[in-house]
Amino acid sequence: MEAAASTCYRHPSYETYVSCVRCERFICPSCMREAAVGHQCVECVKEGLRSVRRARTVFGGTVARSAVPFVTYALIALNVLAYVAELIRPGVVDRFAMTGAGLTDGEGGRYLYVDGGIPGLDVVGVVDGEWYRLLTGSFLHLPPEGTSFGALPFGVLHIVFNMYALWNLGRVVEEQLGRVRFVALYLLAALGGSVLVYLVSPSDQVVGASGAVFGLAAAFYVISRRLGRDMQAVNSFLAGFLVWMLVSAAFTSWEAHLGGLLTGAAVTVVYAYAPAGRRTAVQTAGCVVLAAVLILLVVLKTSALTG
């Protein structure tokens, strides 16, 4: 007596006599996946992958199956889109730049902040409750007509230099930290840079991803030390960043650079030396505490400015 023909459970029109060694359902060639012994179906392979623990770096980041640094590219895209918005609507800079305390006449005129204000002028900035400026300013850059550096418009070079540094540093740091930790580091470094600007020079208008980039530079240094890499080249690299911070003080904000550098170092030290058994909890708590300290400093500075 001839045995009844069996068909693939996913493709009923396909006759087959091969079954999955795990669930014993019949599978066709397009549904077969090689196993240690025989073949498995697609669903059993997926189920097996879910039960396998993903490899992690010493910082807790999941080792990605893809080598593409998606977060780094997304951050670059956001900065470029923000710059395009500046070119289309120049008022975006005044509206979202990091400004601690400024005065405006409502017609585009901006003045330094004076305690007590000036009749007829409106106070704008973080001191007036515009806290979003602490982060939005980090995604803006100097407009092309803003200043000049030699024969080239420094506004364009500003974003080019920052995005080049973000591309180089971001790929390395994101690979070690993983996406979530990398995003937290980037935003906290940007926030730290803006907070130091607010504390030292509240009347300045500051834009640029430099604070966050300097935070990534500090993270790269800490990561290299934690992994026991050759520090000679790393030390030279960081020294170059510190020299750049001093040189750039003439036309950008050294406060944002230093604030981002210190914040990025603090965050990455917590990432690097958290105990393995409670790594995620300690890292999360460290980021929350640091964010709380930065917010407290903003509150205290605001109170001092408003009297």
pLDDT along the chain (307 residues), means of 10: 69 84 85 81 79 66 71 96 91 88 62 49 80 95 64 70 92 91 96 95 89 94 88 84 75 87 96 88 95 96 86
DSSP letter (8 states) at residue 105 = -
Q: Which secondary structure element, helix H or strand E, spans residue 276, and what is its range?
A: none
Domain ranges of the chain: 1-52, 70-306
- CA atoms within 13 Å, Cβ hemisphere of 227: 18
Smallest CA-to-CA distance from 202 within 126, 95, 116, 117 is with: 126
What SS3 class is residue 118?
A: coil
Q: Is 269 left (phi over 0), alpha (psi -120 to 50) or beta?
A: alpha
Q: What does the DSSP 8-state code read for residue 122? A: E
Identify whether the C-beta of residue 189 lies closer than 8 Å to the C-beta of residue 170.
Answer: no
CA distance 83 to 287: 29
CB 290 within 8 A of CB 266: yes
Q: In the numeric block, which tokens belong to residue 181?
A: 């930790």
What's this model's pTM, rounded to 2 decimal places? Answer: 0.78
- In whole angstroms, how far apart are CA 267 and each of 114, 188, 216, 276, 294? 35, 8, 10, 16, 13
Q: Nearest Cα to 156, choosing from 95, 94, 217, 84? A: 84
Closest to 264 measured CA to CA, from 194, 209, 186: 186
Q: What CATH number labels 70-306?
A: 1.20.1540.10
- DSSP line for 146-167: S-EETTEEHHHHHHHHHHHHHH
Output the pLDDT for position 109.
55
Residue type, 145: E
User: How far apart are the C-alpha atoms of 211 and 254, rounded to whole Å?
Assistant: 9
Task: Specify the pLDDT at position 121.
Answer: 54
pLDDT, residue 40, reads 87
